């Protein structure tokens, strides 16, 4: 009996994903709970596992296809031998041909015309979900598709071929190509890689922040001497007790929360024509991964101790690097901290993480000569940057917030005493 493997629920408001990679092929034996494929959403990569043991009957969608929650990914013949793969399933499982012309976004308001020389057309009702979805989105009629699958069934490649053959109406706007027209003089020394869904989402969200928010950045610098001395003195005892290394991030999380409580606009967001002030403190911590920057969230950080913060950040960082973050781990932050200093950045202007109104940028600690008590002394200094949405936060509030963070870091006893 063939068992359908469907796209699982991917989280609140997430309705579709991209098939990033198939880990099996038709005819392969599979064990229960064996990973079958990787689905890439706007935020995370999710593995889909086999629900039964048996043999892969077919792959219903190809790599790179967009699938909906509940859609069929593949079929497993439970406990049986590998059945013969029908021609249309084999065509669906094969890598899609690389079109030589970029497919423009849908600009047609009516179904595509019947093409001369094309037969009776495709049977879309019996075709795979990927082909049906693409035909619906692009407005391609059944009669315009020359099917290559069994019994008149169309594949996604057939729909793409029909779409490229349809003449564009002269009145329709022409989409601007993403790639410059004409030959590239050094194309033989270039490599083209399709953007992942995560990278596209990062790009869109960062551009959205620039386009929407009235973004401004204010700077300050902080003397790290006291925190570094405290950390050096207590790091071994801290690790023995809490099972986590004492880093700088817990001090900055605590310092930011102190500033957010005093200046609630930095912890607010705009929703419609209202300002939403949040009386909770879910701190996002930016983490670099091989697939891009993600911002997992440390929930209710204001009630966590230093040990709980360090363990929480370490766990989130590990999950991010292993690709194990869930949608819940990445949503709902109220303020973000980004540490470019771990990569050697001396100064930067971080971009807001919408809909948040503030983000703190930490940077490299560098020994610099400073005037202390009328004398020049060498101190470990760090530049801090606060990017903020000027629609919500006034310059005075932004400066005072950063000064509050500076005071807490330079005199960490304030954090322990709550002053």
Residue with tokens 């766990």: 315
CA dihedral defined by 129, 131, 136, 140, rounded to 10 degrees?
A: -160
Q: Helix, strand, or coil here: 298?
A: strand
CA distance 45 to 387: 29
Phi, psi of 30 (to 5 degrees): -135, 150
Which member of 33, 151, 300, 394 is catalytic?
A: 394
Among residues 345, 350, 285, the alpha carbon closest in space to that of 314 is found at: 285
Q: Are strands 375-389 and 358-362 parallel, antiparallel or unpaired?
A: antiparallel
- 394 is known as an active-site residue: yes
Residues sharing a CB contact under 8 Å with residue 350, sequence separation 6 or more, in sequence order: 217, 336, 338, 340, 359, 360, 361, 385, 387
> Of the listed 136, 151, 300, 390, which one is catalytic?
390
Torsion (CA) 233, 238, 240, 241 in degrees, nearest 10: 140
Decide the pairing of beta strands 335-339 and 358-362. Answer: parallel
Q: What is the DSSP letter of 42?
A: S
d(CA 419, CA 415): 7
d(CA 177, CA 291): 25
Helix, strand, or coil (residue 391): coil
Quickly count: other Cβ atoms within 10 Å of residue 381's Cβ: 18
CB 410 within 8 A of CB 247: no
Give CA angle at 226 (224, 231), nearest 5°. Answer: 95
So which residues are the catalytic ones?
390, 394
């Amino acid at each position: 009996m063939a068992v359908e493997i469907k796209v699982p629920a991917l989280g609140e408001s997430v309705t579709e994903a991209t098939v990033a990679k198939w880990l099996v092929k038709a005819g392969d034996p599979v064990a229960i709970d064996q990973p079958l494929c990787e689905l890439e959403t706007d935020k995370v990569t999710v593995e889909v596992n086999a629900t039964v043991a048996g043999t892969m009957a077919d792959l219903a969608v190809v790599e790179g296809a967009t699938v909906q929650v509940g859609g069929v990914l593949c079929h497993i013949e439970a406990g049986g031998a590998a059945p013969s793969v029908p021609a249309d399933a084999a065509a669906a499982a094969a890598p899609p041909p690389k079109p030589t012309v970029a497919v423009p976004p849908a600009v047609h308001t009516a179904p595509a015309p019947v093409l001369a020389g094309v037969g009776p057309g495709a049977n879309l009702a019996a075709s795979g979900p990927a082909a049906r979805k693409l035909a619906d989105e692009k407005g391609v009629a059944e009669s315009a598709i020359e099917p290559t699958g069994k019994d008149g069934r169309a594949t996604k490649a057939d729909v793409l071929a029909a779409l490229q053959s349809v003449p564009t109406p002269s009145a329709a706007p022409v989409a601007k190509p993403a790639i410059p027209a004409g030959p590239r003089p050094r194309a033989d020394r270039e490599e083209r890689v399709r953007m992942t869904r995560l990278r596209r989402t990062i790009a869109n969200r960062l551009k959205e922040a620039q386009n929407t928010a009235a973004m401004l950045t204010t700077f300050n610098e902080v003397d790290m001497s006291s925190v570094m001395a405290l950390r050096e003195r207590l790091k071994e005892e801290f690790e023995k007790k809490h099972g986590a290394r004492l880093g700088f991030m817990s001090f900055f999380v605590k310092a930011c929360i102190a500033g957010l409580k005093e200046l609630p606009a930095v912890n607010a967001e705009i929703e419609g024509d209202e300002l939403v002030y949040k009386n909770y403190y879910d701190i996002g911590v930016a983490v670099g991964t091989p697939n891009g920057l993600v911002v997992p969230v440390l929930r209710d950080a204001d009630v966590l101790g230093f040990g709980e913060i360090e363990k929480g950040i370490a766990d989130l960082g590990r999950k991010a690097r292993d690709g194990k973050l869930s949608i819940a781990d990445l949503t709902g932050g109220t303020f973000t901290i980004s540490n470019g200093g771990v990569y050697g950045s001396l100064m930067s202007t971080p971009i807001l993480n919408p809909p948040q109104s503030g983000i703190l940028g930490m940077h490299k600690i560098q020994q610099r000569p400073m005037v202390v008590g009328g004398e020049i002394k060498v101190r470990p200094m760090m530049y801090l940057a606060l990017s903020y949405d000027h629609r919500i936060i006034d310059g005075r509030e932004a400066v005072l917030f950063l000064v509050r963070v500076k005071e807490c870091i330079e005199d960490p006893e304030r954090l322990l005493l709550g002053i």
